[in-house]
Structure formats: structure tokens, C-alpha cells
């Protein structure tokens, strides 16, 4: 058997730093001998949700699929790290309820002002120019978690600091060792 699997669920606006943190925390956990799989938002859309759009219904379907796959992996001892915006609270709570392994929700909390200034993918500029519809934070809601296990404020702290706090939290739960 792998170690104890769990689901590490990142949520936050586009550009908040979810994918970067997922990769960095994943690296830390692999270094400790854990089996890690990262289900990144864009990759999952390509492989599991091609054809779905960004309506509430389609987003919910996409997030449910991520939750289904993450849970399959976690129950077999894999650390399943998800990094999709997952803007709706009810579906994230559904993912938590579905999980048969520990579920750790990380709110990657960066203000719209911060992510819009970064605008790494150029999506916010397009959304403001009405070239991209349904942009979370601009046209579409983002419902922040009410009780996430960890909140990282990537506008106020460095990536290293965020990674350290997440790993420290996981260690406090006994989730960073492979046996």
C-alpha cells in the first residue's frame, strides 16, 4: 500500500497561485516519500470535461468529476492535489462529503485587485474587454470557503511562506509521513 492518502483541495481565483502551490507542495510531499498526483484545472478540463463550458452547471459538473477522481486516488493511498477554481461552496462541500479519506481545503486567498494586476494568462484583461465571458471574480461569483483548513494570502506572503504553512498544517495532522 501507499501511505495514507488524502485530498488536498486548492480553491481560489484564477491567478491566485493554486497551480504553483500545488506543484510546490507536491514536490515537498514526494520528497517525504508520498505518492502524489496533481489534478490541475486546465489538464482535467482537457481530459475529463472537454465540451463543458463555464456556466454554473458545467462548472459544477467539472468539479464533481475532479472530486470523483481525487477520491479514487486518495482511497488508494495517493495524495490527490486539486487545483481548480472550484468557485461554488456547495460543490466543494459535496466533494468533502464524498471523500473517504481526509479532505484538506486550502483557500488561496488573493484579492481581485491582486490577481488582476498579475493577470498571468491575460484573462482578466480579456474579461474586462468582454472577450472572455463568465470570468470568476468579474462576471461570475467566487464563494470563499467558510471553514477551510488553511488560508494562504498570496498577495501578502511569499510562495515559500505559503508552502511552509501548508506543509506544517499537514504535518500537524500526521499527513506528511508515508507510514
From residue 159, alpha-carbon distances to 50, 156, 172, 175 in Å are: 31, 10, 20, 21
C-alpha 43/C-alpha 19 separation (Å) is 11
C-alpha 71/C-alpha 115 separation (Å) is 30
Of residues 26 through 45, those in contact with a second copy by CB under 8 A are 35, 37
Closest to 69 in 3D by CA, of 27, 146, 9, 3: 9
Of residues 87 through 146, those in contact with a second copy by CB under 8 A are none
1 vs 147 by CB, closer to a second copy? 1
If binding is defined by CB under 8 A, does position 69 make contact with a second copy?
Answer: yes
Question: From the list 1, 113, 129, 147, which residue makes contact with a second copy (rule: CB under 8 A)?
Answer: 1
C-alpha 48/C-alpha 44 separation (Å) is 5
134 CB neighbour count, 10 Å cutoff: 14
Taking the complex as a whole, the smallest distance from the CB of residue 80 to a second copy amounts, in Å, to 9
48 vs 151 by CB, closer to a second copy? 48
If binding is defined by CB under 8 A, does position 61 make contact with a second copy?
Answer: yes
Closest to 21 in 3D by CA, of 142, 126, 104: 104
Active site residue 86: yes
Question: From the list 30, 31, 47, 168, which residue makes contact with a second copy (rule: CB under 8 A)?
Answer: 47
- Count Cα atoms within 13 angstroms, Cβ side, for 13: 28
If binding is defined by CB under 8 A, does position 84 make contact with a second copy?
Answer: no
65 vs 107 by CB, closer to a second copy? 65
User: What residues act catalytically?
Assistant: 86
Residues that bind a second copy in the complex, under the rule CB under 8 A = 1-2, 35, 37, 47-48, 50-51, 61, 64-65, 68-69, 72-73, 76-78
Amino acid at each position: 500500500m501507499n501511505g495514507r492518502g488524502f485530498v488536498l483541495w486548492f480553491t481560489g481565483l484564477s491567478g491566485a497561485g493554486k497551480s504553483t502551490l500545488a506543484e510546490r507542495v507536491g514536490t515537498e510531499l514526494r520528497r517525504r516519500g508520498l505518492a502524489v498526483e496533481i489534478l490541475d484545472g486546465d489538464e482535467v478540463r482537457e481530459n475529463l470535461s472537454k465540451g463543458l463550458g463555464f456556466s454554473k452547471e458545467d462548472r459544477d459538473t467539472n468539479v464533481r468529476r475532479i472530486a470523483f477522481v481525487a477520491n479514487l486516488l486518495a482511497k488508494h493511498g495517493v495524495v490527490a492535489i486539486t487545483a481548480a477554481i472550484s468557485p461554488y461552496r456547495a460543490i466543494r462541500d459535496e466533494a468533502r462529503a464524498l471523500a473517504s479519506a481526509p479532505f484538506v481545503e486550502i483557500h488561496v486567498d488573493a484579492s481581485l485587485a491582486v490577481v488582476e494586476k498579475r493577470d498571468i494568462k491575460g484573462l482578466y484583461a480579456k474579461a474586462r474587454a468582454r472577450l472572455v465571458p463568465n470570468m470568476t471574480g468579474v462576471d461570475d461569483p467566487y464563494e470563499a470557503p467558510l471553514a477551510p483548513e488553511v488560508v494562504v494570502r498570496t498577495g501578502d506572503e511569499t510562495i515559500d511562506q505559503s508552502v511552509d504553512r501548508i506543509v506544517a498544517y499537514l504535518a500537524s495532522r500526521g499527513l506528511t509521513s508515508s507510514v
